[in-house]
Amino acid sequence: MYRFISILIIFFNFSFATAQIGKWENYTNQSDIYSITSSNDGIWAGSFGGIFLYSKQNSFNQFNLLNGLKELSITSIEKDKSGKIWIGGKLGYISVYNPLEGNFRTIVTIALSDKTQKQINKLVSSGNKIYACTDFGVSIVDANTLSFGDTYTKLGSFGIDSKVNHVLPLDTIWVATEKGIAVQKSSLTNYLDPQSWWNFTTQNGLPSNNVRVITKFKDTIFVGTSNGVAKLRNSSFQSTFDFLFANKRINDFLVKGDSLFILSDNVIALYHNFNLSIVLENYYVNFREVEFLENKIYIATNEGLLIIEPSRAYFLNPPGPNSNFFPSLAIDEKGQVWAASGRDVALKGFYRLSNEGWKNFTTTYYPILGSNAYHRVKVTSGNTVWALSWGQGMLRIKNDSQMVRFNRSNVNGLNGVIENPNFIVIKALAEDSKGNIWLLNYRASDNRSLIKLSKDSTWEFFVNEINPNLTVTEDLLIDQNDTKWILLEKAGQFQNVEGLVYFNENDKMPSRWGIITKDKFGNFTPTSMAIDLRNEIWVGTSQGMYIIPNPTRPTERISSVYILRTQYINCITVDQLNNKWVGTTTGVWVLNSDGTQLLAQYNTKNSPLPDDNIKSIAINPNTGTVYIGTDYGLASFNSFSIKPKETFEKLKIYPNPLIVNETQISNLTIDGLVKNSTIKIFSSSGDLITEFTTPGGRVAIWNGKDKNNKPVPTGIYFIVAYSEDGEQITTNKFTIIRK
């Protein structure tokens, strides 16, 4: 029992200007809807990807971290009497959106409390109050001032910090908890005292102590539990509607005039004139909340917004990827982003982001997939896209639409796992310098875990000669010597050897097959790997990063990267400047080419990343756009890691004019450079102002200061850029205005 101190109430207007290099974007799936509410504008929905408004004009308005939300996993959404939209999340943040002003205010009181479980299970509006039902009690918030009142965590005889699912504010408050119902005693006023509450449990007739929703209909209290519906008669509850809802989990009630809607996981029913009738049954999705607006029923489900009209029922979803899982990313030659959804849990196929938006690939529209469990995507030469399935082989996609799936039916000698040879898991794929495609066949029943698909469409199978039983593999890379590097899956049910296996059939290694065990990496488990532009092998582990500088003599010297010595490395991506973008469980770390400097760090505290546990990173070399995948959505922003030009063209210089002053940082962007260009800046009288070497890519920046680090005066200036060998040169001019 405690009262939140008002000084803890903090409101944020979020800005990511200090963290970003360029424009950020968020991409999330908003079909996994947990809560809905209606307003004069339409239906508001809270999902595990943010919120959206489905307007009366049949359009979507989507909101995510960039719009002002503090978190994306939304568990409750509610409209107050003034029209403001209240949003509660899994982490305990409460955001308040004012449609008239178009802005968010976020209350962090619960999120920053010392409670272990902070989820907002339900927000209930009543008069000028908002009741926040949480995993540890119920808090009362003033809807006008957004200030906290009392928080009740000890409700009668129930244990402290009982999970609250719902409240019914009448003359006194009825609280639905996981342990039963708590009701304020009207004769008392200090409700922080546990003795001020009555309790109802199964001993008082409840079908279950886990009471999920409570309402008043025609002067009768109805409760929905995890085991059916009950109503209050005299001083005890009795089960009702058992013929339809016995042993069913009840998720929501909705009172509309003289009718009561009752929602279970799969059934919505209408109670009217003492008759209970089924409106709709659907055992393929989960029903969560119900709303009624303009003669239509709206239901929040795990597959989108279900709309029931008098003559039809249908689902609607805002545009976006098919899932919030992004375990693998790849970018094709057109700049399109491809993403997989996961193994056998997500089951959402794969998806593609282009200039036209998102396109989702599932068995519903593409039966050739065989399954929706696609865990990895890859792009090879000829703009060929490969989607790797968990159990159905792999899919080759050409020209965005021409698909061929490879499995046992069309690949002679391809064998799956021991338990079922038809269950083919291609774990990873890479292309060598000759255009051959190499594959990892996970847990191959014949031990032939490495496969070669030649350019002439012939197949060749290899057994690991170091240890034929090492078939539990994770990833595959091919270096500049065409050595195949195989990351073994970390120890588990099927294997207890961890490390890297290498294979080179052209005698460019000490042996044709070899293994580097985890003792070479500080005895930490290798978890990821990448090959940089200098042909060095970077190995991420469960605690830090290691570098193999000479792949032809891999065990001679392996060094560690000090900056990442305590980090769990999920993925590594090398950009056009040979910088390393490292996905960890604490965000993205950007290192310089040799790993000695930390160039940047991005996490949920300084950027609109959906989550700190980074699963995948891909960079468009032609635009510098960085895509970062998590289990809660995708983020992107524009970096300067852009592939340099082969030859100089006319430089693009912006902003022009450049405004310079003593207090504000002003940068001039120079675009169109060749690799390792040198820049010289001259005044109109020919004096050298400054010179510098670019980072290596297509774009460089200048801070408007001379070689003595002083802002330059107003005037016209000239840029001279020349290549590393001095054989190419280009010029341009720009204006500076100093204030």
pLDDT tens digits, 619-675 = 999 889 999 999 999 999 988 888 788 888 788 888 889 887 766 667 888 888 888
- For the cut 70, the answer to whether the pLDDT of residue 197 exceeds it is yes
68 and 23, same structural domain? yes
Co-location of 44 and 94 in the same domain: yes
> Do 313 and 356 lie in a common domain?
no
Question: Is-contact 429 397, C-beta < 8 A?
Answer: no
**Does residue 378 sit in the same domain as residue 478?**
yes
Q: 257, 291, 320 — which closes off a domain?
A: 320
Q: What are phi and psi of 329, to 5 degrees?
A: -130, 150
Are 579 and 669 within one domain?
no
Longest CA span, the chain? 96
Model confidence band, residue 22 (pLDDT cutoffs 50, 70, 90)? low
Task: Output the average pLDDT for the chain.
Answer: 92
> CB–CB of 305/33 below 8 Å?
yes
Angle at 145 between CA 141 and CA 148, to 5 degrees: 30
Residue 171 in any domain: the answer is no
Residues 604 and 717 in one domain: no
242-256 pLDDT, tens digit each: 999 999 999 999 999
Q: Answer yes or no: is 551 within a domain.
A: yes
Evaluate whether 47 touches 33 at the Cβ level (below 8 Å): yes
Instruction: Count structural domains, the chain.
Output: 3
Q: For residue 218, tell me if it sits in a domain.
A: no
Residue 182 pLDDT exceeds 80 = yes
Asked if residue 113 and residue 3 are part of one domain, the reply reads: yes
Same domain membership, residue 404 and residue 376: yes
410 located within any domain: yes
In a domain, 129, yes or no: yes
Residue 461 has pLDDT above 70, yes or no: yes
Do 94 and 145 belong together in one domain? yes
Q: From edge to edge, which strands make up the β-sheet containing 559-561?
A: 526-531, 537-541, 544-548, 559-561
Whether 509 has a pLDDT exceeding 90, the answer reads no
What does the pLDDT look like over 209-226, one tens digit per residue? Answer: 999 999 999 999 999 999
96: domain CATH number? 2.130.10.10
Mean pLDDT of 474-499: 89
* % of the chain at pLDDT higher than 90: 78
Q: Is residue 373 in some structural domain?
A: yes
CATH of the domain at 727: 2.60.40.1930
The per-residue pLDDT for 189 is: 72
State the residue range of the domain holding 42: 1-151+282-320
Residues 503 and 452 occupy one common structural domain: yes
Q: Rounded CA gap, 528 and 475, in Å?
A: 7
Residue located via tokens 């255009």: 435
Which of 693 and 106 is assigned the larger pLDDT? 106
Q: Which pLDDT band holds residue 1 (cuts at 50, 70, 90)?
A: very low
Residues 566 and 421 in one domain: yes
Minimum mean pLDDT range among 13-27, 45-59, 149-163, 236-250:
13-27
Residue 194 lies in a domain: no
User: Does the global pTM surpass 0.75?
Assistant: yes
Same domain, 522 and 476: yes
Task: Give every CB contact of residue 233 below 8 A, 6+ residues apart in sequence.
Answer: none
Q: How far is CA 483 from the centre of its chain?
A: 34
Residue 200, in any domain of the structure: no
Which tens digit of pLDDT belongs to each residue from 534-590?
A: 999 999 999 999 999 999 999 999 999 999 999 999 999 999 889 999 999 999 999
Which one, of 319, 298, 315, lies nearest residue 50 by Cα?
Answer: 319
- Among candidates 690, 685, 736, which has minimal Cα distance to 715? 736
Residues forming beta bridges with residue 306, ordered by sequence position: 299, 315
Above 60 in pLDDT, residue 366? yes
Helix (H) or strand (E) holding 243: helix 242-245
